[in-house]
Chain A
Amino acid sequence: MSAKSAHATNIQRVVSPGGIEAWLVEQHNVPMIAVRVGFKRGAAYDPAGKDGLVNLMASTMDEGAGDLDSQAFQRRLEELTMSLSFSAGRDTYTASMKTLTRNRDQAFEMLRLAMTEARFDPEPVERVRQQLIAGLKREQQDPEHMAYRAWFKSAFGSHVYARNRKGSIEGLNAVTPEDLKSFARRLMGRDLLRIAVVGDIDAKTLGALLDKTFAGLPEKSSLGEIADAHVEAKAVTDRIEKDIPQSVIVLGVDGLRREDPDFIPAYVMNYILGGGGFSSRLTEEVREKRGLTYSVYSFLLPMKHAGVFMASASTKTSTVDEAIKIIRAEIARMAEKGVTEKELADAKTYLTGSYPLRFDSNTKIAGELIGIQLEQLGIDYITTRNGVIDAVTPEDIQRVARRILKPENLRITVVGKDQG
């Protein structure tokens, strides 16, 4: 099919009287508004020894603000039948809010309170800290999580990307309510602020609300940049013993950042290799032909200061080596021979044709708009994106495959029973 953009999505750039910018898509069919707010700093900025600080900040920013203590704040959210939550990504810090149109102004006021007057009272901080620690313990039971954690540790060594963005038990225990209060001011500067609003609201109304809601944030963030990092090209296999019937395999090499000119060709290449579900080579070879797994896939993970290409599969103990062998062979085949014209054409029709599926609800559109802003892809990205994909050639794919895929230097982590 032809590369149509999501033409129904008409983005307005709204600049408030006070100079605060937001991207708005008006949709008046459902009486609700979805808001996403993002800052271009995240958990990677946790101070040394306090890893988990930004996660704890996100998890307690809705636990009391202004005159409302934790329970009063939560009750007020429920009375307004709105939702409000904060999330700590590796490189970003985001807020998500949803409100019915009839409670619009009060809902924005709750967002303002949380962002600028969060209390971080000792009681909720301690309670939520224990919840996050319980969450970390639960993750430690999960072999897939164990494999990814171990892989990142091995790949990034002493760089902050080796850490769990959710923190560690020791790190979380070291964070004080004062840390949270001061870090919120340091992180949430208006220079890093991006806003997406989708739903039953017009530009003029939004403009006034932007000033009311966000003017109280500090003008500038005082967090500097962290260092760039690369995954060393080196063949490493780590095996972590765990008595489970199915082993989890995670492997990877250095990849690309989003701003790399090769990112889109690499994205198309990965779709064909292992990103495209039943249309991917990995699913065909490991699952469909041999029945070795339920789930096999690969992906590119672009971060702000590094990039990785990763693949994963889970299979019973006795077929771990066979699965690794096939995945490695497919990575090698892609690096050596690239893709056929037909594979590329099929990838393009999927990737361009499915793009509008990301824009069929207010909540999803808001998520796309904040992502585009945080990645600095430009307000016209929705209309230009498919053209960039259509321009990718087999030669581009071959070039990026050679550049990224290093079958002889895979870093592999396996969690499961010893096969011996």
Chain B
Amino acid sequence: MSPKRSTAAADIGEAAARKTAVALARRVGFYAVTCLISVFFALPLLWLVTAPFDASPAYAIEFPEPTLRNFETILSNPYALPSLLNSLILAVGTALFVVTGAALAAYALSRVRIPGRDALLYVLLLLSSVVTGTAAMVPLFLMVSEVGGAIHPVLGVDSHFSVTLVMTGGLLPAAIFMLKDFVDSIPPSYEESARVFGASPFRVLKDVVVPLITPGLATIAVWSIVNVWGNFLVPFILLRDADKQPAAVLIRTLYTEAGQPNLALLATFSLLYSLPVVAMYLFVSKKYGFRFHGGIKS
């Protein structure tokens, strides 16, 4: 090998080493930034998990003085556990309405050609944000109390059923929109095949379409439950009876005599309040293996 060649080889080696160093520095930088960001998001969650077990929690994360007193106190609150049950009733009821309604509507909208179908969907989607939006609360309250209450108390104020209907009205258009994408992705020949064998439209929906869009239905059910679980405004306005109020409304009452937020109770109840949602997510994710599709076809 000539000396010139070996210098060239050394140059190449040096360049490669520089390249590796740069790549390494980039990786270190990337992970440092990622860590910072995740700490930013993890701290509140960490507080949520530690504060309930702390005798005197503050706006800081510290190693707790371990105690279960907070749980004892919250469980002795006569409204705490029933409010979680109320949340569950509202969430599951709404999810049932939304899933059933959205499945029927999405199937029809996907398979039947009607003029202006897409425009209709977009208008519905736009208006749905109004139904449960803040601006609509006064007319909504009046409608439920004057019209609904006049028809039957079940449709009036202080009824879980009317809260469920209002929440369904707000969620249904977006649910239809999401589900229609799922239905659209099913080749029509499945249904045609079943029809030629003599299956009625409802039978086709039950035997063929619903099993194929189960991940979509699960997504919508979870999404509805999470939405209702976290909604404060609608039940706050439509439910006066403290016995009927869901957890989201109850949290507001957890104050000390001095009018300060009772951090110990707030944190404890928040933990109890968030556990069912986490459990549900894990269960559904395991059972249906769904990803959050949104409205985008995978």
Is chain B found bound to chain A in the same assembly? no
Interface residues of A (CB under 8 A from B): none
Interface residues of B (CB under 8 A from A): none
